[in-house]
Amino acid sequence: MTGTEILVGASPSIQALAVIAIVLLEAIVLYVGYGTIEEAVGPAVLDSLVKR
């Protein structure tokens, strides 16, 4: 599931480092993605909330 299944013969340390790298990469992608969405949609949402 994490993509580390291909590291069957690797040591546990290498597998752990691979999981950490994958989680870090996922966090960066989500941070950038949500930031982009917030910049694109945020002003419209705030304007609609203020008008109420």
Tokens, residue 31: 């941070």
Task: Look at residues 12, 28, 31 and name the one whose alpha carbon lies nearest to residue 4.
Answer: 12
Whole-number pLDDT of residue 6: 72
| CB proximity list for 2: less than 8 A, separation 6 or greater | 18, 19, 22
Report whether 2 contacts 22 (CB < 8 A). yes
Domain ranges of the chain: 24-52
Q: How far apart are CA 48 and CA 41, in angstroms?
A: 11
Tens digit of pLDDT per residue, the chain (52 long)? 666 677 778 888 888 898 899 999 999 999 999 999 999 999 999 999 998 6
